[in-house]
A and B are shown apart, each in its own frame.
Chain A
């Protein structure tokens, strides 16, 4: 039996090391720059495998220390502190220090172990190595589960015995040092045995074997509520006598023995079924997880394109119609929130006015001022409270000299990145196999159509942003020169175009996406980061909005022109499916 255990464990550890090592090399080879340098020979380099093994062993020991020694060590440490506090303040007269220590340690350990049993019960969890060994290499599932379980229990016992030495030095009784590891093993057996029992009953009733999430929840809640409750108990000087704790421990040990019996009766076939059920469950859960590709597959089946759109215009119009949810949700959400904020600002204005000038003519004054503003660009001095307010002065300063900071809301509402992903996943990825799609003229034609489309998506939130800035200007003294309000819209529109054309051009020049929504291009990410860093540095520069609008209009025109040229020249080579 010992020989069997040794053989199985050797196979598991060997496989674990192969999976770990190959996974590490694979990850390294996928890393930009480094990946290109590393040769395939890494997979068979014995020296590196040995180094990996050394690290693997260190990690195992580290986990042992952290998980077991530290866990129990903390319990013993807390018990020591409590003992000294109880002794100092004579909260437990007539009880020896050793007994007090045992009370605290055992009590805390029982809570710790029982919560652990519910939360961390991995006996039937199907890991990668279990999947390979049982379902590909046809290993006996029971033998494998038991071997790994015994290995875990051995680590647990060793870790607890080492931690117990500290307790012995601190004056804990010998039985506690030996008893806690035994109790820990029995609680583990109880957890695994209970799970086996539930599986066996369910299997008998042809019900799917699934992890008991209710138990998990109870464990988590118990953990959450136990700590404050225990604190209250201790602060008030209470403690549970050792005899009661020993009785509870005795019950748990008996239940652990029953768990052991249950496990020994649990056949190899059931073990295999439980592991298989675990795989299926993991797959289902993986499927349930917010799948990033799923959102791109929400294609509206109904609706068509009206009018006489042809060719790429037709393609784009159909794409937008069938993907409206993906393409405009973000901008709609932004717009709604921004409109609400603007509403609050207007409400605040009316409310302030109301306080200063009374309810009677409040609405009339507000609207007559708005009308005055719209018709003549002027307003009366009713806005004086805002003009004098230091907070509003600050906002005015921003609205007149820091409009480049509008890049922040623009980058929030602009959906170009996600739109380019949707373009690739649901359209370009498939059309790239057709030669016409890679012709320069056609590439640039579709690029232009898409750029206009992305800019159209941004019109409404851009106007909303412009309105918000202009409201600040309006409430704090109005425009400094003619057309300042209009220039705000020009600035935000130009920033929107810059944001959209950047995302779109980067997509055409680096095409970083895969069909599983991953971003694979290191150059693409680097380019985005560089652009981001430049933007962060630029938008703090104070610029008068008149000057800014002029510069931005020219810059946007040049920027779009240059990027279009680049796309025209490079995209036939760069805009393709990643091999």
Chain B
């Protein structure tokens, strides 16, 4: 399975945020979508998630096992984790999870609700509290858990580790790694170290285009310098 984006263009008035995004993402890999602040990472995700309209281009899933058949990307194929988690504040964690499993009739849960909470390391005393009283990190974990249960083909993670403490960030990274099989994961961040640490591939969103970075030297300082050089504008020089 591949996720194919073809000549995607998105403008806000005269400002072209996504100029010509053309890329193929492969199943089973975590792609680090690296870009500077304001480079259009969230806009890119919002376009794919149909939260905003785009000007031109297309995207679809391609099934290699079926002779490269194009499959329309449906809302239920997408899991979207936003940096500022929003959860229905009037429900408790347990109530929300119960509701979520019930509305996903197509899913047969392989765990009980408490086992899901345990998997995400959500403390027991939080489970029956209103979500409005959850900490930022726990709300983030809840959001991740729901996306795991929904088991989408494409997982969009928009800076999910932003403002998490070290422990929760590490727990989340492990969960993301453990969930990469069988789906395409795109992880946006503006933090180079996080991208290098977590992702199998690095893709730069720069000047409105996606540019793959050769991963052979992933991790060494020269590689980081290369990315920084690639992201730097001529104006920064």
Contact = CB atoms under 8 A, between A and B. Distances in A.
Contacts of A433: 80, 82, 86, 143
A430 B86 contact: yes
A438 interface: yes
B13 A299 contact: no
A319 interface: yes
A434 B76 CA distance: 8
A66 to B, nearest CB: 40
B103 interface: yes
Nearest to A422: B90
Nearest to A573: B50
B35 interface: no
B124 interface: no
A576 interface: yes
Contacts of B74: 435, 439
A430 B89 contact: yes
A572 B89 contact: no
A311 B98 CA distance: 8
A435 B89 contact: no
B215 to A, nearest CB: 29
B52 A311 contact: no
Contacts of B22: none
B207 interface: no
B130 A301 contact: yes
A310 B105 CA distance: 11
Interface residues of B, number: 35
B87 A430 contact: yes
A40 interface: yes
Contacts of A573: 50
A439 B88 contact: no
B66 interface: no
B120 to A, nearest CB: 16
A438 B75 CA distance: 7
A439 B90 contact: no
A39 B13 CA distance: 8
Contacts of A319: 90
A40 B98 CA distance: 47
B141 to A, nearest CB: 15
A429 B86 contact: yes
Residue among A297, A315, A431 with most chain B CB within 10 A: A315
28 contacts: A40-B13, A297-B132, A301-B130, A311-B99, A311-B102, A312-B103, A314-B95, A314-B99, A315-B88, A318-B91, A318-B99, A319-B90, A322-B91, A323-B90, A426-B89, A427-B88, A430-B87, A432-B51, A433-B143, A434-B150, A435-B49, A435-B152, A436-B104, A438-B75, A439-B75, A577-B51, A579-B51, A579-B52
Given A322-B90, A430-B86, A430-B89, 5 more contacts: A310-B102, A312-B103, A432-B51, A435-B152, A436-B103
Interface of B: 13-15, 46, 49-52, 74-80, 82, 86-91, 95, 98-100, 102-104, 130, 132, 143, 146, 150, 152
